[in-house]
A = this chain, B = another copy of it.
Amino acid sequence: MNSSTFRFAAGLPQRSHRLDANECLFVAGQRATRLFYVRKGAIRLVRTLENGANAVMHVARAHEWVAEASLFSDKYHCDAFADEPTTLVSLSKQSLIEHFESNGKSAVEFARMLASQLRALRQMHEIVRARRADDRVLTWLQLRAAGEPPALVLDRTWTQVADELALTREALYRALARLRRNGRARIDGRHVVLQR
């Protein structure tokens, strides 16, 4: 997903944007003429349901595109708000599509990025479908660990990991404690070594 740089958009005119926390980037129904890329911060995509409830559809973080799908639709179908102070760049959809259509290699690059996001999301989706916290945590660690024995160093806080796994941080800490007790993993701060 970090490979989602501008390789395929090189040379196209860009605009910069800066939003404060909770500031609105666009709302559902608005004509979608530009595609956004998050430089720093995060954008929350929210869909307002018929009964007024809100469903968060996605949170686009630094180095991710915002609603790539809108590249292919006339209107945005979500509201977009900054989760925190955020800087973005944007491209004209029209010029981007024209660029792709006349430059297949760029289009393939873009498709490659979409496919990679899809693969990553499928992974997370299957993990979150697991019912027990231990399964989610262990699978997540295993998918990230490398080497013999498999090991990794976290690049974020455990609290953030808990959120990704759709667990409370308490549940995550307890799962980690169990893994440690059962000898399935050695965990020291952000360093993890899986056993067996």
Contact = CB atoms under 8 A, between A and B. Distances in A.
Interface of A: 47, 49-51, 53, 55-58, 68-69, 71-72, 97, 100-108, 110-112, 114-119, 121-129, 131, 138-139, 142-143, 145, 150, 166, 194, 196
Given A57-B123, A128-B125, A166-B129, A150 B50 contact: yes
A42 to B, nearest CB: 15
Prevailing SS type, chain A contact patch: helix
Contacts of A124: 125
Contact of A102 (B100, B104, B196): B104
* Copies of this chain in its oligomeric complex: 2
20 contacts: A49-B143, A50-B142, A50-B150, A50-B194, A51-B196, A55-B126, A55-B143, A56-B126, A57-B122, A68-B118, A71-B111, A72-B112, A97-B108, A101-B108, A107-B108, A110-B111, A111-B111, A114-B114, A114-B115, A121-B122
B166 A116 contact: no
A131 B128 CA distance: 11
Contacts of A142: 49-51, 53, 55
Given A50-B142, A57-B126, A128-B166, 12 more contacts: A55-B142, A57-B123, A58-B122, A68-B115, A72-B111, A72-B116, A100-B104, A100-B111, A102-B104, A107-B111, A111-B114, A114-B114
A102 B116 CA distance: 22
